[in-house]
Amino acid sequence: MSLVKHYWLALLGLAFFISGCSEQNNLYTLQIEGRTMGTYYQIKLVEPKAKLPDGDKLQAKIDQVLQQVNQEMSTYKADSELSRFNQHSSNQAISISDNLALVIEASLQLSEDSNGAFDVTVGPLVNLWGFGPEGRPEKRPNDQLLDETRAKIGYHHLSLNAGKLSKDLPELYVDLSAIAKGHGVDRVADLLEAEGYLNYMVDIGGELRLKGHNDKALGWRIAVEKPLAEQRAVQKVIAPGDNGLATSGDYRNYFEQDGVRYSHTINPNTGKPIANHIVSVTVIDETSMMADAYATAFTVMGVEQAMEFAEAKQLAVYIIEKQENEFVEHISAKFVPFVVQ
């Protein structure tokens, strides 16, 4: 699971500005920028100028929503709901908020569906391989340490029943970094719609929700990055429609030791970094939360299993695989209509 130094920090609203566009359609973009969950957020809201909201007031509401997500799901806030559960060492069930229950339930269901490729308890293994806040180890962990750490994880040790969360392994540690950022995007999108705005783009660290159109009165278009560590370039342009979008990749986050490349994405079933050749996975789904989670699961699965899963579930998935010196694309049937030719 891609859990690399996900610093969930207090929010800091940075700026907003209004940009004008064509006088023909009289549409303007209000852009709001800030920081959350150890990364940036950016919201673009499109309306006729007379209908644009006060930027400061809307940003205050957005920050309040994201602060609540942090308070529910951060592992860096000692008093968050999730942190309190992680500190809880008994098997006694604890009542949790509806939002946290929603994310946990989705996580457990995907863990079952993916045969453990997605697992929110994998954090100790991520740390063991040096991709967590503790930093990189001096050498590859030995088999004994690997087995000892694997014994401390497993989504099947986590239970959710009637809004109460429990664990049968005292040291079980839940980290929602591979799904909660997408959930945060959805929460902001829900706020915008509740305020009556139907043309927007919400972006938190690359996880997106889109609806309506931009200030040219055209549907939103998004560039999928070419998986190159040394430069930024466009691989493909897509028009996701009114959906969530997430991309997972390891081409900028890995380390090499004794000639071996170790990916930051850990396979919970083996306890080791993935050994497949997937470098990028893009998923389009109704919610950013599930797009976020699916992207991680498919990265762990490998191309063949991921594409079989995507076709069976009718999911829009785009995978880039590195074969020797070439990038090979794998596109599910549901993804094809979103590609801009």
Q: SS3 string of 1-40?
A: CCCCCCCCCCCEEEEEEEEECCCCCCEEEEEEEEEECCEE
Q: Would you say residue 173 lies in a domain?
A: no
Q: How far is CA 276 from the centre of its chain?
A: 20
Beta-carbon contacts of 337 under 8 Å, excluding residues fewer than 6 positions away, are: none
Q: 314-317 long-range contacts, Cβ below 8 Å, gap at least 24?
A: 315/283, 315/285, 316/283, 316/284, 316/285, 317/281, 317/282, 317/283
Backbone angles phi, psi at 325, to 5 degrees: -105, 15
Residue (of 74, 122, 64, 126) closest to 100 by Cα position: 74
Query: Which amino acid is present at 260?
Result: V
Contact present, 20 and 49 (Cβ < 8 Å): yes
CATH number at residue 129: 1.10.3980.10
Residue 191 lies in a domain: yes
| Torsion sign over Cα 182, 183, 188, 190 | positive
The residue among 167, 190, 214 that closes a domain is: 167
Relative orientation angle of helices 55-73 and 98-113, to the nearest 10 degrees: 60
53 in the same domain as 144: no
Number of domains in the chain: 2
Is residue 3 assigned to a domain?
no
Domain with 24 in it: what CATH number?
A: 3.10.520.10
Amino acid at 46: V
Same domain, 77 and 121: yes
Determine the pLDDT at residue 3.
33
Q: Give CA–CA dist 172/119, Å, rounded.
A: 12
Say yes or no: 206 and 302 in one domain. yes
Task: Dig out the tokens for 329 from the structure.
Answer: 């694309």
Q: Are residues 293 and 190 in the same domain?
A: yes
Half-sphere exposure of 61 (CA within 13 A, CB side): 15
Co-location of 81 and 108 in the same domain: yes
pLDDT tens over the chain, length 341 residues:
433 333 333 334 445 455 554 445 789 999 999 999 989 999 999 999 999 999 999 999 999 999 999 999 998 899 999 999 999 999 999 999 999 999 999 999 999 999 999 999 998 888 888 766 555 555 678 889 999 999 999 999 999 999 999 999 999 999 999 999 999 999 999 999 999 999 999 999 999 999 999 999 999 999 998 877 667 778 899 999 999 999 987 654 555 555 545 567 888 998 888 878 888 999 999 999 999 999 999 999 999 999 999 999 999 999 999 888 888 999 999 999 999 98
- Residue 316 is predicted with a pLDDT of 98
Q: Are residues 329 and 217 in the same domain?
A: yes
Same domain, 202 and 151: no
Domain boundary residue, one of 167, 197, 218: 167
| 175 assigned binding-site residue | no
- Establish if 5 belongs to a structural domain: no
Statement to judge: residues 183 and 161 lie in one domain = no
* Same domain, residue pair 46 and 89: no
Domain match, 282 and 218 both = yes
Q: Are residues 287 and 266 in the same domain?
A: yes
75 annotated among ligand-binding-site residues: no
Any domain includes 143: yes
Alpha carbon distance 14, 227 (integer Å): 29
Determine the Cα–Cα distance for residues 76 and 298; give it in Å rounded to an integer.
Answer: 27
3-state secondary structure of 327: strand
Three-state SS string over 199-240 comes to CEEEEECCEEEEECECCCCCECCEEEECCCCCCCCEEEEECC
Range of the domain at 147: 72-167
262 and 299: one domain? Answer: yes
CB 179 within 8 A of CB 293: yes
What ranges in the chain are assigned the alpha helix state H?
55-73, 81-87, 98-113, 123-128, 143-150, 180-194, 288-301, 303-313
Question: Which two three-digit tokens encode residue 266?
Answer: 């850990």
* Among 117, 101, 114, 113, CA closest to 158: 101
Q: Which residues lie across from 15 on neighbouring strands?
A: 33
pLDDT of residue 227: 76
